[in-house]
Amino acid sequence: MQEFDRNFNWEAVNPHTLKFLESGLRTMGEIKPWVDDKIHKWVYTHALFRLYGVGRTPEEAIDHYKQLMVAKIEENIQNRRQPLELFYRQYGGYRKNAGRRPKIIPSIRVSVPKDIALWLKAEAPWDALRQLKE
C-alpha cells in the first residue's frame, strides 16, 4: 500500500487524471471515514474502488484515499485501460465492443432453394421485396 504523503503536490497531477478523480468521487458520494479499533486509526474505503485510505485524522484518511485513487487511475491510463470503468467494474477496455455483443438487426433464418438464395445474396432487392409484402 502506498504511504500517505503529507506534501503531495495536487497541482502536479495531470488535469485528465483529475477529471476522472472528480467523476469517481461523485460516484462515491459523501466520504465518511471511521475509526478502526484494530489499528486505532481513521480509515475510509468504498465498495466500488477497493482501496483503503488510512490516517491519524479523518482529513488525512480522505486525502490518502484520494492519493491512492490518483495512483490507480494513472496506472490504468498507462496500461491502456479505461481509467475508472475498469477500476470498479473489472471489465471493459479501449477495444471496440470489448465484452459486449454488437447490436444486430433482428432477423430469422429461412430455407429457400439455392438459386433463389444466390439471387437474394447477389442483388439484394430489399425494397422490391418489402413492396411485395404490402
**Residue 59, domain member (yes or no):** yes
**Residue 117, domain member (yes or no):** no
**At residue 103, does pLDDT exceed 80?**
no
Number of domains within the chain: 1
**Residue 100, domain member (yes or no):** no
**Residue 127, domain member (yes or no):** no
| Span 108-119, average pLDDT | 86
**Residue 16, domain member (yes or no):** yes
**Residue 78, domain member (yes or no):** yes
Which pTM does this prediction carry?
0.58
pLDDT tens digits, one per residue of 21-80: 888 888 888 889 989 999 899 999 887 777 888 999 999 998 998 888 888 888 887 877
**Residue 54, domain member (yes or no):** yes
How much is the pLDDT for 12?
A: 83
Pairwise CA distance, residues 62 & 67, whole Å: 9
Q: Which of 91, 64, 81, 61 shows the shortest CA–CA distance to 20?
A: 81
Domain interval for residue 59 = 10-89
**At residue 94, does pLDDT exceed 80?**
no
